[in-house]
Amino acid sequence: MRVRLVKQRRPAVEYDAELVSDDGTHLIVRIGRGDVWIEHYWRDRWYSVKEVFDAGGRHQGWYCDIAQPARVDGDTVISEDLELDLWVSADRAVIARLDEDETDFTPEVTAAVEELERLARAGRAPFQDRRLVFGEDPELYDRMRPSYPPALIDDLIALPGVGPAARALDIGCGTGKTAALLAARGLTGVAVDADAAMAAVARRRLATLPSWRVDVAPFESWAPADGEWPFDLVVSAQAWHWLDPNVRLPKARALLTPGGWLALFWNVPAEDHSPLRRALDEVYDRLAPGLRRTGGPKEMPPGERRSYPWRQTYSADQWVDLARTHSDHRMLPTDRLGPLLAAVHAAIDAHGGVYDHPYDCVLWLHRREDLLPGD
Ligand SMILES: C[S@@+](CC[C@H](N)C(=O)[O-])C[C@H]1O[C@@H](n2cnc3c(N)ncnc32)[C@H](O)[C@@H]1O
């Protein structure tokens, strides 16, 4: 295949490359020209990464090019370079911005370079999994992240063919919040998470329930044991968006029994026009404009959408601890996160010391028969 790098201030560059893999989001190519470059392009990220190895195979480091999300046209991957680069040496002794003065620092550019710097300082490569930051502090996650409304669980149990004797699969189970809610209603099943630290908390929580097992594996490569599937209900709470879009739907469908249900849900911030929310938005606009206060799905296969509004009151300390569990906050360099959270805390203090936060728990329900194979 070909790689075309479109530059803002220089002529475009084009060269041959050998395709290593393409999962629909993340495309990897190899270029051998004395030294060897392994190049990573993402269709949904504002950077690309070029790993550099010398002719003896020794890793030299990686160039991170801040760039528009990559496009693929025929057999050509096209990356529109925004000039700013980050060089990270293999031993991470050097983490340096290059061509900073030639760059327009839009929120996307700022967020991208800060994410790359944070990963480099944390000893992680950008092509390692950002989905696994939750496991850096699973106890904090478990303590601070909200559970899901009982009415939603009631509705799942009431689905035709589900009921208290049903078998369920919880994908991206994290610390086991949803599996525990289902187990409390009598359901049995399997919970799967890619992160061993998160799964360890889920195992502890489900330890007294031999009818539940927790597996550590990415859902994409996970396989059920013989005889334990198909499932009547497949759930994924706050996790579906982390799964490979090419795999998740056909695989979930294949694991469901005829007439079975796929239930995807997210606690998302509900609309809030309170003075405190406005003050918090101002803090983010000023200190972390790249962070979006969104959540949940952008696109869903056809299905039924239900909504469960609810509220929770947080002290300033609790709200700040909750913010620390969000992956976008965890990706911020500590010298940005500290002042951001201090300002958030101060805003809550200035508005009475508590945040009565409105949530909308959004449930998407899909019957197996409505999920077309290959969707
Ligand atoms: C935001 S947490 C949600 C956890 C839990 N479902 C909950 O509601 O609290 C997302 C979880 O998805 C897991 N995850 C991310 N990618 C995954 C994948 N490909 N396969 C399985 N789990 C994955 C992460 O490790 C993390 O525990």
Which atom of ligand 1 is nearest to 238's Cα?
Answer: 3
Any idea of the CA torsion for 176, 180, 182, 186, to the nearest 10 degrees?
140
Confidence of residue 11 (pLDDT cuts 50, 70, 90): confident
Test site for ligand 1: of 23, 25, 130, 131, most ligand atoms within 8 A of the Cβ? 131
Q: Provide the phi-psi class of 161: left if phi over 0, else alpha when psi is between -120 and 50, else beta.
A: left
At 102-125, the pLDDT tens digits run 778 888 888 899 889 888 887 777
Test site for ligand 1: of 128, 134, 294, most ligand atoms within 8 A of the Cβ? 134
Which atom of ligand 1 is nearest to 145's Cα?
Answer: 9
Test site for ligand 1: of 152, 156, 178, 198, most ligand atoms within 8 A of the Cβ? 198
Whole-number Å distance between alpha carbons of 211 and 362? 28
> pLDDT value at position 111?
87
Whole-number Å distance between alpha carbons of 206 and 65? 44
Test site for ligand 1: of 242, 246, 264, 327, most ligand atoms within 8 A of the Cβ? 242
Q: Which of 87, 98, 68, 84 is nearest to 126 (CA)?
A: 87
Write down the domain spans for the chain. Answer: 2-128, 140-370
Confidence of residue 336 (pLDDT cuts 50, 70, 90): confident
> pLDDT value at position 186?
95
Which atom of ligand 1 is nearest to 131's Cα?
Answer: 15
Candidate from 151-165, 167-181, 293-307 with smallest mean pLDDT: 293-307
List, chain by chain if needed, residues with CB within 6 Å of any ligand 1 atom: 131-132, 134-135, 145, 172-174, 177-178, 192-195, 198, 218-220, 237-239, 242-243
> pLDDT value at position 295?
56
> pLDDT value at position 304?
92
% of the chain beyond a pLDDT of 70? 94
Test site for ligand 1: of 23, 195, 361, most ligand atoms within 8 A of the Cβ? 195
- Determine the distance separating the centroid of ligand 1 and the alpha carbon of 239, expressed in angstroms: 5
> pLDDT value at position 373?
58
Environment class of residue 265 by beta-carbon count within 10 Å: exposed (0-12), middle (13-18) or buried (19+)? Answer: buried
Which atom of ligand 1 is nearest to 218's Cα?
Answer: 20
Candidate from 62-66, 199-203, 308-312 with smallest mean pLDDT: 62-66
Q: How far is CA 371 from CA 61, 200, 325, 344, 366, in A?
A: 43, 32, 32, 42, 7
Residue 326 has pLDDT above 80, yes or no: yes
> pLDDT value at position 9?
78
- Determine the distance separating the centroid of ligand 1 and the alpha carbon of 191, expressed in angstroms: 10
Is residue 53 within 8 Å of residue 60, measured between CB atoms?
A: yes
- Determine the distance separating the centroid of ligand 1 and the alpha carbon of 236, expressed in angstroms: 8
Residue 151 has pLDDT above 90, yes or no: yes
Residue nearest to atom 1 of ligand 1 (CA): 238
- Determine the distance separating the centroid of ligand 1 and the alpha carbon of 67, expressed in angstroms: 27
- Determine the distance separating the centroid of ligand 1 and the alpha carbon of 199, expressed in angstroms: 9
* CA 337 to mean position of chain CA atoms: 19
Residue 224 DSSP class: P
Rounded (10°) angle between helices 334-350 and 316-323: 150
> pLDDT value at position 130?
65
For domain 2-128, give the CATH superfamily.
FomD-like (2.40.380.10)
Residue 368 has pLDDT above 50, yes or no: yes
Q: What is the largest CA-CA distance in the chain?
A: 64
> pLDDT value at position 55?
76
Q: Does domain 140-370 have CATH number 3.40.190.290?
A: no
Q: Which of 224, 348, 216 is nearest to 282 (CA)?
A: 348
Residue nearest to atom 4 of ligand 1 (CA): 174
